[in-house]
Structure 1
Amino acid sequence: MKTINRPMMCEWRDFSTDTETYTRTVFEAKVGDKFDAMMFESETDEIPSYIYTKNYVCIIRRNTRMINDISITKIPRNPDCS
């Protein structure tokens, strides 16, 4: 298994799309969970690829048809398989 090293940040960094600015407060309200860390594909990216919260890994996908926007997909971090 190959490990890929990507820039991981444990402090929130605000980011923006054409329609919204995402602060920590705005993001936590949208996903309903507390921020833990964010991962960027490269050090020059403005928008993270993944945001980790206490209970979820949020996949950030860019949507760029007419405007620059994102979608957020939440995946449980520790699913209960019992």
Structure 2
Amino acid sequence: MIICEWKAFSTDTETYTQADFEKLVGDDFEAMMFKDDDPIPSYIWTKNHVFHIRKNSKILTDISFEKIPRNPDCVKS
């Protein structure tokens, strides 16, 4: 399910609000996608990027963000 309003989510160590996420990544939130009944989104779209949320552990709730440019032409080498 893709939603266009922020839905706060938590790991074992941190709760992510829209303001916290935008400050962390330096970009404005646009949408997020949840798979099945998972409380942590799989993808988050911002104005300039798509973030793939990866779970780092099966035991703990620990995540990392993979930052992917939305427009590859804007990538500077």
The TM-score, its normalising length taken from structure 2, stands at: 0.89
| Equivalent residue, structure 2, for 1:13 | 7
Q: How many residues align?
A: 74
Matched ranges for 1:1-82 at <5 A: 7-42=1-36, 44-64=37-57, 67-80=60-73
| Aligned mates of 1:35, 1:11 — CA distance in 2 | 9
| Higher-helix-fraction structure | 2
Amino acid at match of 2:17: T
How many percent of aligned residue pairs carry the same amino acid?
62
| Aligned mates of 1:80, 1:64 — CA distance in 2 | 34
The TM-score, its normalising length taken from structure 1, stands at: 0.84
Q: Which aligned runs of 4 or more in structure 1 are off by greater than 2 angstroms?
A: none
Task: Extract unaligned runs of 5+ from structure 1.
Answer: 1-6
Which protein has the larger Cα radius of gyration, Structure 1 or Structure 2?
1
State the superposition RMSD in angstroms: 1.4
Q: CA deviation at 1:66?
A: 5.7
